[in-house]
Amino acid sequence: MRMLLIEDEDEVADVLWRKLKSLDYAVDRAGSMAEARDALEHHRYRLVLLDRRLPDGDGVSLVPDVRRSQPEARVVIVSACDKTQEIVNAFEGGADDYVTKPFHFDELMARIRNQLRRGDAQPLPTIGLGGLVFDPHLRAVSVNGAPVVLHGRELMMLEVLLRHAGRMVSRQALIDEIYDHSDSVEPRAVNLVAQRLRSRLTALDAGVEIHAARGVGYMLTRA
């Protein structure tokens, strides 16, 4: 799941980026509205975290751009602007939620999860193949009924492959889903993630196989 974090204070952005990454989200960063517009042009996002006081204007003015280019994305404003009228203006401008600084990270994550649930027209069902089951909301994996912990890019890759089970997923599509645009992706990086995930699923006797097409991509099938 990919998010866009728009925050010009490096210290705040670093903390949020690290915490969100630790929860297995792919997070792109932008420090201005201009950088954000460029990111929105080139990538799809489920959620946008948006500061108001940006070097090139009030972040609220960016919300209509998000609505036009990515109407399915949810917008959560995170700002030190806490006057009632400012908050009202943000909601009237199209924001889905508003969190004032300082905030507790657990509260922010609860707000994010709530918006992601609302962003789905219908609750996303669990996805199963072989003995493998993935819950998109909880981001939880089980194999043959037993919970399994997968972290980071292996979990992201598994989600993408499960959503396209039986179909080839290109290397570039996987890169777009599991890496931030700021990541330096080496040519063999996707191969290594796939190898680790394949080894783990085989050891767990998950009843699935990951097939590789050299230079093309990967496909997940029932074993």
Q: What is the DSSP letter of 60?
A: G
Are both 132 and 39 inside the same structural domain?
no
Amino acid (one-letter) located at 199: S
For the chain, how many residues are written?
223
Residue range 73-124, pLDDT digits in tens: 999 999 999 899 999 999 998 999 999 998 899 999 999 988 888 765 455 6
Are both 186 and 202 inside the same structural domain?
yes
The C-alpha atoms of residue 150 and residue 116 are separated, in whole angstroms, by 21
Residue entry with tokens 């645009």: 181
Q: What is the pLDDT of residue 22?
A: 84
Answer whether 129's CB lies under 8 Å from 120's CB: no
84, 119, 154: which is the final residue of a domain?
A: 119
Model confidence at 2, in pLDDT bands (50, 70, 90)? Answer: confident
Residue range 152-205, pLDDT digits in tens: 889 989 999 998 999 999 988 888 888 876 667 776 889 999 999 999 999 999
- Spatial CB neighbours of 161, under 8 Å, sequence gap ≥ 6: 169, 210, 218, 219, 220
Beta strands in the chain (DSSP E): 2-6, 26-30, 47-50, 53-54, 57-58, 74-79, 97-100, 127-129, 132-135, 140-143, 146-148, 169-170, 208-213, 217-222
CB-hemisphere CA count at 13 Å for 216? 9
Are both 102 and 29 inside the same structural domain?
yes
Are both 57 and 165 inside the same structural domain?
no
119, 142, 165: which is the final residue of a domain?
A: 119
Structural domain including 21 reads 2-119
Are both 10 and 109 inside the same structural domain?
yes
Are both 156 and 111 inside the same structural domain?
no
CATH of the domain at 179: 1.10.10.10
Nearest partner of 29 among 69, 20, 166, 142, judged by Cα: 20
Are both 94 and 39 inside the same structural domain?
yes
Answer whether 47's CB lies under 8 Å from 115's CB: yes
Are both 134 and 106 inside the same structural domain?
no
119, 140, 158: which is the final residue of a domain?
A: 119
The C-alpha atoms of residue 33 and residue 101 are separated, in whole angstroms, by 20
Are both 31 and 109 inside the same structural domain?
yes
Are both 14 and 108 inside the same structural domain?
yes
Are both 25 and 98 inside the same structural domain?
yes
CATH of the domain at 7: 3.40.50.2300
Q: What is the pLDDT of residue 118?
A: 77
Nearest partner of 200 among 190, 191, 210, 185, judged by Cα: 210
Are both 195 and 108 inside the same structural domain?
no
Structural domain count of the chain: 2
The 10 Å Cβ neighbour count of residue 156 is 23
pLDDT at 37 > cutoff 90: yes
Average per-residue pLDDT for the chain: 89
